């Protein structure tokens, strides 16, 4: 078995060394490529920064020129619009005054009509309330009369029952006296 292990090691060790060598070569190539890429990237970044700075300067010059031109145009438009706004405000205020007068007249007319209708409705409601109150009072009186009549009849029935209870009580007392146990005779 030692011989087999020795033969296996003889085969595996050169393969392992070959694999390690390949990995080392690959690593060195990767490191070299990363260094070149970093240098290229740094150079690209320097060139890009320079281009961006030059572009920013040109853009700032253009922006300044456009801003100056726009400010002049804005002032001119603002002056023209201010005049137009004042004229429109005056026309609007005149129209608003006219509309307010018409609305106030209409509101007064509507208010008067509503007050008339409210008065009419109040009169009708008062009439209906009076009629309902009268009917309720009539019904209450009728119910009170019926209750009084029932109470009278109930009183009459109670009086009759009291009389009958008195008779039954008297009869029971008489029966009780007859049934009272006689003295017992001693047996002996």
Residues in Cβ contact with 40 at an 8 Å cutoff, skipping those fewer than 6 apart: none
Write the DSSP assignment of 11-48 as a string of letters. HHHHHHHHHHHHHHHHHHHHHHHHHHHHHHHHHHHHHH
1: helix, coil or strand?
Answer: coil
pTM: 0.32
Angle, alpha carbons 141-144-149 (nearest 5°)? 125
How far is the C-alpha of 108 from the C-alpha of 114, rounded, in Å? 10
Which uninterrupted H or E stretch holds 181?
none
Query: Which letter does DSSP use for residue 180 in this model?
Result: S
State mean pLDDT over 149-160: 87
The string of pLDDT tens digits covering residues 76-112 is 999 999 999 999 999 999 999 999 999 999 999 999 9
pLDDT digits (tens, 9 = 90+) for 33-71: 999 999 998 999 999 999 999 999 999 999 999 999 999
Distance CA 38, CA 31 (A): 10
């Amino acid at each position: 078995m030692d011989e087999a292990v020795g033969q296996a090691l003889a085969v595996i060790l050169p393969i392992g060394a070959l694999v390690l060598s390949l990995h080392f070569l690959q690593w060195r190539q990767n490191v070299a490529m990363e260094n070149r890429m970093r240098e290229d990237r740094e150079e690209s970044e320097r060139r890009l920064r320079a281009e961006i700075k030059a572009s920013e300067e040109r853009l700032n010059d253009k922006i300044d020129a456009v801003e100056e031109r726009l400010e002049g145009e804005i002032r001119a438009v603002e002056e023209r619009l201010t005049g137009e706004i004042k004229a429109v405000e005056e026309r609007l205020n005149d129209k608003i005054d006219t509309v307010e007068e018409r609305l106030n007249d209409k509101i007064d007319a509507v208010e008067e009509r509503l007050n008339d209708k409210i008065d009419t409705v109040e009169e009708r409601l008062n009439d209906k309330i009076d009629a309902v109150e009268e009917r309720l009072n009539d019904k209450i009186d009728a119910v009170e009369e019926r209750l009084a009549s029932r109470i009278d009849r109930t009183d009459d029935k109670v009086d009759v029952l009291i009389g009958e209870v008195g008779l039954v009580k008297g009869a029971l007392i008489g029966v009780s006296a007859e049934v009272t146990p006689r003295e017992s005779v001693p047996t002996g």
